Amino acid sequence: MTLPHGKCQRQRVYLEYTKNSVTIAANILMRIFIPNSKVRSFVVRQCIVCLAVLQITLSGMAAEITTNGLTVHNKGIGGNNTEQGRKRFEQHVVAIKPDYVFIYFGLNDALNEKCFVSLERFVENLTWMVDHARTNGIKPVLCTIHSVTEEPLFKRHKRELYGSEGPNGKVARYNTAILSLAQTKKVPLADFAKAAGQPGTVSADGVHLTSSGYKLLAKTFFDVVAPELKGNEVIVCLGDSITYSSGMKGVGTAEGETYPAFLRQIQIPPHKNSP
């Protein structure tokens, strides 16, 4: 995928202008400080080579990164549960005044013993986030959490913590609560638990996602709101290390291979009433 022609053209013009400007400036400075014309000519040539390499590098980056006009904020923090997400909701969501907040919590609430949150409190926290978002004119989107690969998880967390239901049994119970809340409150739902069943989604640690998994998460959220998008919306992605996109290039940002970054790269479909 490439940038729209207009953006590519503007970038090429900018790079060419930068190269010419630096060359002229270098010539002026070196005429003052380097009187020897041969030495001066050599330095100028080296500057031009460096700028050419920079131009190729930036042009390659432009070809790899396509933006659809959305402004996306990555507000994921590793190890967070819904209690912590609720506490920072005002600062990390409301203060930004986004059009949407994409909410992904549950793995720490259900599986990380240092962050366990009871199912009842989990639902209470999510309900508060939904209501608080709507009160502030923000559209919330909930998301089910993906199943984990249990054996790698047991290397970090004791098996007996999850009782007879096991980790994925507990995940399923929390997902049932998310589905019920979405239905009761009429909240748009990204059903990532269903989408994430395909191979190659979960990383070797059993919990976090691969690059393909983060891309799939972005698409799952995106498809929910795509019919409404015009391309100038602001989205806050709120969550834990999945939103933070642990292990990926650009971690903690909306760049690289994070799920917020992939959100910015999906093409917005034309609407039926578009010219």
Q: Are residues 57 and 185 in the same domain?
A: no
What pLDDT is stored for residue 32 in this prediction? Answer: 62
Looking up tokens 């380097």 gives 34
14/84: higher pLDDT = 84
Judge whether 235 lies within some domain.
yes
Whether residue 85 sits in one domain with residue 147: yes
Distance CA 117, CA 146 (A): 17
| pLDDT tops 70 at residue 151 | yes
- 102 within 8 A of 221, measured Cβ to Cβ: yes
pLDDT band at 45 (very low <50, low <70, confident <90, very high): low
Residues 19 and 93 in one domain: no
Return the higher-pLDDT residue of 7 and 138. 138
Bridge partners of 102?
Answer: 141, 237
Q: How many domains does the chain have?
A: 2
Q: Are residues 158 and 222 in the same domain?
A: yes
Name the more confident of 198 and 155. Answer: 155
Domain endpoint, select from 64, 87, 103: 64
**Whether 244 and 186 share a structural domain:** yes
Please indicate, yes or no, if residue 136 is contained in any of the structural domains: yes
Poorest-confidence range of 49-58, 88-97, 148-157? 49-58
| Mean pLDDT over each residue of the chain, to the nearest integer | 85
pLDDT band at 46 (very low <50, low <70, confident <90, very high): low
Which domain-ending residue is among 44, 64, 84?
64
Q: Are residues 188 and 245 both part of a single domain?
A: yes
1 confidence band (pLDDT: 50, 70, 90): very low
State the pLDDT at residue 65: 44
The pair of structure tokens assigned to 262 is 């992939």
Q: Give the integer Cα–Cα distance in Å for 25 and 243.
A: 44
Q: What is the pLDDT of residue 8?
A: 41
The enclosing H or E element of 221 equals helix 211-225
Q: Does the pLDDT at position 91 exceed 70?
A: yes
161: closest CA among 174, 172, 150? 150
pLDDT of residue 67: 75
How large is the average pLDDT for residues 51-58? Answer: 48
In sequence order, the 6+-apart residues with CB closer than 8 A to the CB of 35 are none
Q: How confident is the model at residue 198 (pLDDT cuts 50, 70, 90)?
A: confident
Give me the pLDDT at residue 64, please. Answer: 38
Q: At what angle do helices 37-64 and 5-33 cross, to 10 degrees?
A: 160
Residue 151 domain-assigned (yes or no)? yes
Query: Is the pLDDT higher at 18 or at 235?
Result: 235
Is residue 103 a contact partner of residue 142, using CB atoms and an 8 Å limit?
A: yes
User: What pLDDT is stored for residue 44 in this prediction?
Assistant: 59
Same domain, 40 and 130: no
Q: Is the pLDDT of residue 61 over 70?
A: no
Query: Residues 136, 52: one domain?
Result: no
Lowest average pLDDT, out of 63-67, 145-149, 243-247, goes to 63-67
Residue 163 has pLDDT above 50, yes or no: yes
Flag whether pLDDT at 179 surpasses 50.
Answer: yes
Q: Are 27 and 6 in contact (CB under 8 A)?
A: no
Q: Are 79 and 207 in contact (CB under 8 A)?
A: no
Residue 197: per-residue pLDDT = 87
Any domain includes 21: yes
Tell me the two tokens of residue 260: 């917020």
**Residue 201 included in any domain:** yes
Range of the domain at 27: 5-64
pLDDT of residue 238: 98
Cα separation, 259 vs 254, whole angstroms: 8
In a domain, 269, yes or no: no
* Average pLDDT rounded to a whole number, residues 69-75: 96
Q: Which residue has the tokens 């990164």?
A: 65
The reply to whether 239 and 220 lie within a common domain is yes
Q: Sheet with 100-104: list strands edge to edge.
A: 71-76, 234-239, 100-104, 139-143, 189-190
Evaluate whether residue 167 is within a structural domain.
Answer: yes
Answer whether residue 124 shows pLDDT above 90: yes
77 domain-assigned: yes
- Torsion on CA atoms 148, 93, 69, 16, rounded to nearest 10: -100
Model confidence at 25, in pLDDT bands (50, 70, 90)? low
- CB-based contact 109:116 (threshold 8 Å): yes
Alpha carbon of residue 79 to chain centroid:
17
CATH number at residue 88: 3.40.50.1110
Predicted TM-score of the model (pTM): 0.76
Same domain membership, residue 103 and residue 52: no
- The set of residues, in sequence order, having a beta carbon less than 8 Å from that of 246 and lying 6+ positions away, is 78, 208
Q: Indicate if 57 and 75 belong to the same structural domain.
A: no
Tokens read off for 63: 């070809």
Q: Are residues 50 and 76 in the same domain?
A: no
